[in-house]
Amino acid sequence: MAVAPHNLVEAHACPMSSCQAPAGSPCRTTSDKVALKYHTARFQLVPSLRSELHIATPAVRHPGSTWKALAVAPAGAPAISMEIRIGYARVSTRGQEIQSQIDALEASGVHRLFQEHISTRVKERPEMKAALAAAREYRSLGAKVTLVVHEMKRLGRGALELLKAAEELRDAGIELEFLTGPLAGKHDPSGHGAALFAFFAAMAESERDYIRDKTLEGQETARRNGTAIGGTKVSDEDMLATALRLRDEENLSLREIASRLVIRTGKKRGQHPSAATVMRMLREHDEQAAAATV
């Protein structure tokens, strides 16, 4: 069972000068009645509710009746004596299937679910940020909170990214649970789970390094075998000679020179080269000419 929004809102005193309802009580009107909905300035103090346009006062608070302050829970007493499970699902592209993650998370008993289609290479993931904000909010009310993801790579791929998430969870006292993969199970970032989490994060980073090294090795092998790496070269000696004449004798700009040249071979045959291609071609010629005079 998820925490009711009014409990999240009432964890804060209303900052409205016309209300000033204390924590634990509903908002009030200028005629000292229980307001029909909470004042925006109040529920905007709750990170997980900031996107809401309004929060209605529940029937249990008797909206419209004479307002009176309600008893506040004793200091230090938990407001929510239960575990809140927050699910997070992610895929990198719109074409990838996300429903299997959602089904698994819902089957695990999550109370709230956040999902998004975004690459882990993107530094700002809005739904991940919202999930962590909601988790911190529930935790501040005294609830035990667990962030649940399908597997480690949904949370992040690189060691730095994973460790950053672990630090946020540890600082807020939030547990982490993976449903599948080598880390399957619940982990407390402030306990033994921190070391285990860091270990697998390092393994993920090592895997990325291995893939990069193998890619570079393959490129070097291709170069040794005479295979071109990168885009196909579109310039030739005749194009260079024409470009030099247009630059040195007619003082044309790179853009103007490019418009006078035509690619003779390859997929771009018949097209004009870009100004950047012309600039690179002339720069390479000038560097070689300078080196030859030394």
Q: What is the DSSP string of the chain?
A: -PPPHHHHHTTS----TTT-PPTTS--B-TTSBB-SB--HHHHTTSGGGTT-S--BPPGGG-TTSBP-PPPPPPTT--S--SEEEEEEEEESSTTS--HHHHHHHHHTT-SEEEEEE--TTSS--HHHHHHHHHHHHHHHTT-EEEEEESSHHHH-SSHHHHHHHHHHHHHHT-EEEESSSTTBEEE-TTTHHHHHHHHHHHHHHHHHHHHHHHHHHHHHHHHHTT---SSPP---HHHHHHHHHHHHTT---HHHHHHH----SSTTTTSPPPHHHHHHHHHHHHHHHHHHT-
**Segments of the chain scoring below 50 in pLDDT:** 1, 75-78
* Best CATH choice for the domain 83-205 from the list 3.90.650.10, 3.40.50.1390, 3.40.50.300, 3.10.20.30: 3.40.50.1390
The pLDDT, as a whole number, for residue 1 is 41
For the question of whether the overall pTM of this predicted structure is more than 0.85, the answer is: no
Mind listing the pLDDT tens digit for each residue in 155-200? 876 666 777 777 778 777 888 899 998 878 888 766 666 676 666 6
Exactly one of 51, 81, 92, 235 is catalytic; which is it? 92
Q: What is the pLDDT of residue 77?
A: 43
Domain residue limits, the chain: 1-70, 83-205, 237-292
92 is catalytic: yes
Q: What is the pLDDT of residue 162?
A: 73
